[in-house]
Amino acid sequence: MTPKGIEIGHLSREEKLRVMEALWEDLSRDAEQVESPDWHREVLDEADRRLEAGQESVVDWPEAKKELRKRFE
């Protein structure tokens, strides 16, 4: 059982993703209070290197969310 009696096991995949997105939006409002681990900086630096080398492309967040939702439908 989760807080306030919410059983996430009974939610559909789409409902779970919407809840997760709402939680992320709420948590990200206080992003400056969250300390990122060292490995996160390393992953971001590697992504920057791959982008500069032409091995990665940039996708805006609304498009990325659409693509992620398609994968999990």
Are 72 and 13 within 8 A, CB to CB? yes
Q: Same domain, yes or no, for 42 and 72?
A: yes
53 three-class SS: coil
Predicted confidence pLDDT, tens digits, the chain (73 residues): 556 667 888 999 999 999 999 998 998 888 777 788 999 999 999 999 999 999 999 999 999 999 999 998 8
Q: Same domain, yes or no, for 46 and 21?
A: no
Q: Same domain, yes or no, for 15 and 41?
A: no
Q: Same domain, yes or no, for 14 and 30?
A: yes
Note the maximum CA span of the chain.
49
pLDDT of residue 60: 94
- Can you tell me which residue has the tokens 């300390």? 35
pLDDT of residue 35: 83
> What domain count does the chain have?
2
CA-to-CA separations, 68 to 1, 10, 14, 39, 71, in angstroms, rounded: 27, 21, 11, 23, 5
